[in-house]
Every structure is written in structure tokens, then in C-alpha cells.
A and B are shown apart, each in its own frame.
Chain A
Amino acid sequence: MTENMMEIRDVSKIYGPLRALKNISLDVPPGQWLAVMGSSGSGKTTLMNIMGCLDTPSLGEVTLDGVRLAKLSPGELTAIRREAIGLIFQQFHLIGYLTALENVMVAQFYHSMVDEAEAFDALKKVGLGDRAKHLPRQLSGGEQQRVCIARALINHPKLILADEPTGNLDETNEGTVMEILHDLHDAGSTIVLVTHAPEVASHAERIIVLEHGRLVSDNAGKNGPPPADPAKSPGAAPANEAVGEASDDGAAIGDDAAVKAANAASDPGGLNPTK
């Protein structure tokens, strides 16, 4: 077991003429809550897919909990995903013909053994004990997202990847979901949260910003210290250096909102968290 939960070294992802990720290097220590920010097309979802073993890098190397993913077959990647990763989606992606409880049990089924009582407990933890027998269409967006979180947690994953978990929620539900993520973090879970919303990212210990596939900023979030050793995040540039840097195609990069949010999040007085 290595020191970091995840190590990403010089990772690039190339789709034909498009370089979705460019030489990203990043370490995520165990228990860290990392927010990945960036505008649409910045490569944050691609990075999350690679971190979640849903995709493989074109170049570079990814290590998850000491396992080098580049050497693994698709079947082995599936097994890693099953054993070590919990996924939370913006669109919830619940199976429409299964109840909330059964949706949680599906993750158990593909992981190991189905335990209805444990699945029910997971739902209770996210405040849905009384909604366990409801179908997704009978649940509100926030409730569906909480089912999605319960499903992600049920197998006690080493890494939780949340892709815009509050993107489809109103403010109240957003608060509820962030509260759950805080609880998970407090319990020691490693969380990678992909978002474009500064106020959501500000809950994290650490915020990185992607621009056109490059990692342009790596700062401490409101709730955490800055990266322990900047040398371990060789692809990261300080946010203030990144702003205004030219992209490969000559266009000015800089999603001002994202970068400013990253900077602001590092300023305790900058943003008012939803929590």
C-alpha cells in the first residue's frame, strides 16, 4: 500500500484530434476531499472516468491504492471498480423498475452478497428509511440523489467519485447532499467531487482546476489545508500563475469563475458554503 490513495502521473487522454487531458499529474492522499473544477470541456469528467476505472489514459500512469491500473485488463478494471470505487452521478442513474432499496442492493449484488438489512441501513443513513420501497419516479430529485449516494456507499468503497452530485438539485437538497458528503469525509472516506459550482467545491479540502485538459490550479479548499507537498503534484501550477496562461491553440484559457472560485475557496471569508 502506497502513501496516496491515488497517484496520477503525466496522464493524457486523446480522442482522435482532441486532447481531453494533457499531462495531468496528481496525488490524492487517503481521506482527502478533492474537488475538481473546470468549465465544460475542461476534461474534469474525463479525469473522473480515468480515476474511476471507467476509462483508461492514452498516456501516463494511474495507481489506485497501490495498484497500477495501466497493467489491468478490462475485466480487472471492472473488478477494481466493483471493489474500491463508489460512483455518484449528476443524473442519479437509478434503475427505474427497482425500488430505492433494490437499487442499493444492485450494487451489493454485483459486489458480493445481497444484504437487505444493510441496504436498508444505508438508506436510513441518508434519511430515506421511510422511502425504501418507493420507485425512483416516486422520489424527489434530492431523494434520488441520496439513494444514489447510499448505493455508492453500500460496499464501503476506498474512493467515492461524485460527478456534479448537486447539479440537478435545488438549494435545500444540495445542502442535504453536501451534509452527507461531509459526514462521509468525517468518517474517513476519500472523496473526489467534480463540479463547476464554486460554492459546492468550497466544501472540499482541496480544489484543483482544469482548463482545456490542463491542471491549472491546485489549492486548499475552505475545509482543508493546502496539498501537503506541492512537489507531489507536479502538474499543478498555483492558481495565480495559471490565470491568463495561453492554451495550446493560442486561445486565452481561464474559466475566470472557476479559478476565482478556487482562489476564493481558499479564502475563508470568500464564500458562504451551503452547508
Chain B
Amino acid sequence: MFFKMVFRALTRRKGKHLMTAFTVGLGVSLATAMLGVMFDVGDKVNRELKTYGANLSVIPRGSSVAGEKYEFADEADAEGAAGEEGAIDRSGHAGHAGHSGHSGHSVQDFLSRARIPEDELHKIKMIFWAYNIVDFAPFLSTTVFVGDNPVNLTGTWFDKRMVLPTGDEVETGVLPLKSWWEIRGEAGDDSLPLGVMAGETLARELSLEPGSSLEVSTPAGEKINLTVRGIFRSGGEEDNELLSPMKLAQDISGLGGLVDRVEVSALTTPENDLARRAAKNPGSLSRMEWDTWYCTAYISSIAYQIEEILPGVRVKAVMRVAESEGTILRKTQLMMLLLTLLTLLCSALAISNLVTANIMERSVEIGLMKALGATNLSVSLLILSEMLAAAFLGGAGGYLVGLGLARFIGLTVFGTAVEVKTVVIPLAALMVIFVTFLGSLPALRALLKLKPTEVLHGR
């Protein structure tokens, strides 16, 4: 009978309950959208911030020392430097003092040890947090001459597609990594070995335009005719450089299969005390802390994992970018949370008015139930059940509308749809219950005080 009464009240007092459902639906739709965005805003903001540059820089261990040796030292010095911990040999294996030996090494051998093997780079997409690595691009700098003027030519991957041993396909390179670059003409193409892109400043100096030919000399005196496919503006030092496919830079420098450095853009979780302690010394963590840290996408744990998989490298976090990301993310999430709470509060107030009006309107009916022997509890349960049923109906509709709203917000603000997490469903259900109870409380108090004699006989 209880459910029949609830059902009849819902179906035969449609207007009133639709109003309740609509109010709850409105609140839940906004809250769902806010929560959806809040849970997904991390990725979205991270992706937005990725356009401001890589947040991880991968360099060979001891590279700065090696650089000095290359520029100024003789072979003996170079051999000594080869003992720097973690330098990588040409074949990509981690080198340690003693492994390299002390005889038979040329300057070229030494140079190769201070760089990173290109064919190992795919491993960056095989770490624990592989899916958080958005893009990465290797760089190898060398010098060419235009006439007598030295020009920096940097080899890179423009937009390289590779297949991982896992079978996954990866597409990465400098173009997706530096998506904010303004390019005039065509972008570089990894399959065109002599096609380069010129930085805007350099192009102006050399009067280069997209499609121009440019003859350069290598340090060995070899002349190469390059085609300028496009002019780019980065706003950085790259504007003074030529950007070429990696193979060309490697051929010119004689460093086949090696790169200077790799810039990595990763989606990260804002740093906390644990992450900061781990960044200083992972060994200082307890086993549990270590697991937590390792299994969280902190920038330090991602850096650690890259160092694990590429033993000869050092990974530096570009903290200015990482910290900005964390701050923006935290503030955005806090704002979304506050908006969600405000929305729910507004819904609760509206529900409160509706339930109070409902109880006042039905005071005779409630008085009658009490006169017939209904307890306060049973009447309260009846009213609450009606409200909850209407609220869940509205909540379900509101949830669906909220999904659409979240999608709209995602598309409008971030350019991609927000993926609403499954956790939002139970949260939405809890919101419905919370809002309905909170909103019904004042009216229920009035209901408890209602005396049948006051409403049945008009006293």
C-alpha cells in the first residue's frame, strides 16, 4: 500500500512532482557537469599547458662536462670524461667508469658516449605512466655554414610515427610538442631528408621564404642544397636556427643514431610533500610511500621511470612549468568544487520551498493520515519517498543533461569533450539524496508539528 500511495501521488500529482524533479534535475545537471569537468579538468588543463612547452628534459648523464671536453680538451681529457657516471655508449648500453676501458677510443667514440641513442627513445612510451607522455621530440644540434656564416642546424623529428614493441602506434615530434609555433608555408616532413624549416629571425637575415633553396656547407666542406619548406616563429632561440630531419643533422655531425637531448611533455599530478621528498631522494621513502609515489603521475616519478628505462640519461623537470600546472589545476578544481556546492545549495533551497509548499498544500491529507493512526515516522517516510522518487527521476534526467553540459563545456573551453568519470554516477545519486533531505528538513519539522485537529476542523 505504501508504494501504491507513493506511486499514485507521483502519477496523479504530476505537476507538483515534475516541479520537484525539474528542480533536482537542474541542480544535478549543473553539479554533474561541474564534477565531470572538475575530475577531467586536470587532463584538460594539463593538455592546455602542454602547449607552453615540455615539462621534462632528457639529457645524457655528464653531458655538460662532455661538452666542455669536446670543445676544448684533447683526447686524453675526453677519455677521462668518459668515466662520468651514467654516460651512454653508442650502442645505448649504460656505461660506467671501468666499462669503457681506457684505450682505443677516438673523439668520435667519446662524443657518442655523451649522447642518447635515437633507437632507444621509443622506450619513453613504455614506462609505467606511458599514457601520460603526451609528446616528445629529440634534438641534435650541429653547425653548418651559409657562405662564411655559421648557422645552427638542429635535427629533430617533425611528426614521427613509430610502432612500439607492444604493438601500439605512437605519433610524436616537435610539431605536436610545440603546437603554439606559428608556421608559414609547409611544416617539416621526416621523409624529406633535405627539407628544412627556418626560424623567423634567420629567415629574415637570409631572405628565406617558403620554397626557397638554401646551399649550406658542412664542417667537412661538403655542400648541401636544402629546401626551406616553411618559416616558423617560436618566440625562442629556435628562431635563429634551421630545423631539419634528424637524419640530416646526424649525417652532418657524424653522430649517426644519436641525439643531444629529448624534450618530453607529460601529464602530471601536482607535486606534494611526498613528491618533493622523492625528487630529492627516492631512497628516503618507506616502501608504502615509494609505491604511492611511483604509482602517481608526479613529475618526479615520471622522470624517475624514464631514467629507469634509459639508464644513461638524466631527466630534469622543468619545474616552472610543472608548478604552474599544479597551481592552475588546484585553483581550477577548487573553483569547480565551490560552484558544485553552490549549485547544490541552491537546489536544496528550491527543494525546501517546494516541499514546504507541498506539505502546506497537503496539510489536511497529512492530518487525516495522522488521525487514521499514521505515526510521524510513517508520514515523513511517505513524503520523503515521494520527494526522493521525484528527485531521482529528475536526478537521472539531470545527470544525462549534465553529461551533455560537460561535453559542451569541454568542447567550448578545451576544444575536446569532457570524459565524465564513472565516479560521478554515485556522486550524483548522493547529491540527489543529500539535496532532497536537506531541502525537506524544514518542511518535515513542520510536518511533525502538524496536529490533525488544526487542519481537519480548521482550528
- Footprint of B on A, CB under 8 Å? 45, 49, 52, 54-55, 75, 78-79, 81-83, 87, 89, 91, 93, 95-98, 102, 105-111, 114, 135, 151, 163
Contact = CB atoms under 8 A, between A and B. Distances in A.
Interface string B5-35: 1001101110000000000000000000000
A98 B374 contact: no
A95 B452 contact: no
Given A106-B5, A109-B2, A114-B1, 10 more contacts: A45-B459, A54-B456, A55-B453, A75-B375, A98-B8, A102-B4, A106-B372, A107-B372, A109-B1, A151-B372
A51 to B, nearest CB: 12
A163 B459 CA distance: 14
A135 B11 CA distance: 13
Interface stretch (B94-102, B199-207, B363-371): B363-371
A105 B196 CA distance: 88
Given A106-B1, A109-B2, A82 B373 contact: yes
13 contacts: A45-B457, A54-B453, A54-B456, A78-B370, A87-B371, A87-B372, A102-B8, A105-B1, A107-B373, A110-B373, A110-B374, A110-B378, A111-B373
Interface string B373-393: 111001000000000000000
Contacts of B457: 45, 49, 163
Given A89-B456, A108-B1, A114-B1, A97 B372 contact: no
Given A45-B457, A106-B369, A97 B375 contact: no
Nearest to B367: A93
Contacts of A49: 453, 457
Contacts of B369: 106, 110
Nearest to A79: B373
B368 A93 contact: yes
A74 B375 CA distance: 10
Interface of B: 1-2, 4-5, 8-9, 11-13, 364-365, 367-375, 378, 451-453, 456-457, 459
A57 B301 CA distance: 77
A81 B378 CA distance: 15
B165 to A, nearest CB: 68
B339 to A, nearest CB: 38
Contacts of B11: 97
Contact of B371 (A79, A81, A83, A108): A81
A110 B370 CA distance: 9
The 8 A-B residue pairs with the shortest CB-CB distance in the complex, in nearest-first order: A82-B373, A97-B12, A109-B1, A110-B373, A114-B1, A93-B368, A110-B374, A49-B453
Nearest to B13: A97
A83 B372 CA distance: 9
Contacts of A114: 1
A18 to B, nearest CB: 11
Summarize A's interface: helix, strand, loop or mixed.
Answer: helix
B109 to A, nearest CB: 92
A91 to B, nearest CB: 8
B342 to A, nearest CB: 35
Greatest chain B CB density within 10 A among A54, A55, A111 is at A54
A95 B365 contact: yes
Contact of B372 (A75, A96, A110): A110
B33 to A, nearest CB: 34
Contact of B373 (A81, A96, A105): A81
Greatest chain A CB density within 10 A among B369, B372, B453, B459 is at B372
Greatest chain B CB density within 10 A among A81, A95, A135 is at A95
Contacts of A91: 364, 456
B67 to A, nearest CB: 85
B368 A54 contact: no
Contacts of A95: 365, 368
A139 B11 CA distance: 20
Contact of A93 (B4, B8, B12, B364): B364
Contacts of B374: 78, 110
A79 B374 CA distance: 9
Contacts of A108: 1
A54 B12 CA distance: 29
B372 A82 contact: yes
A105 B372 CA distance: 11
A45 B452 CA distance: 13
Contacts of A109: 1-2, 5
A155 to B, nearest CB: 8
A54 B452 contact: yes
Nearest to B455: A93
Contacts of B12: 96-97, 135
Contacts of B364: 91, 93
A78 B456 contact: no
Contacts of A45: 457, 459
Contact of A98 (B5, B378, B452): B5
Contacts of A98: 5, 8
Nearest to A164: B457
B305 to A, nearest CB: 64
B8 A78 contact: no
B456 A93 contact: yes
A81 B368 CA distance: 12
A114 B372 CA distance: 14
Greatest chain A CB density within 10 A among B2, B4, B368, B375 is at B368
Contacts of B372: 81-82, 87, 106-107, 110-111, 151
A184 B253 CA distance: 114
Contacts of A81: 371-373
B8 A54 contact: no
Contacts of A83: 373
A98 B367 CA distance: 16
A114 B5 CA distance: 12
A106 B5 CA distance: 8
Greatest chain A CB density within 10 A among B13, B367, B370, B373 is at B373
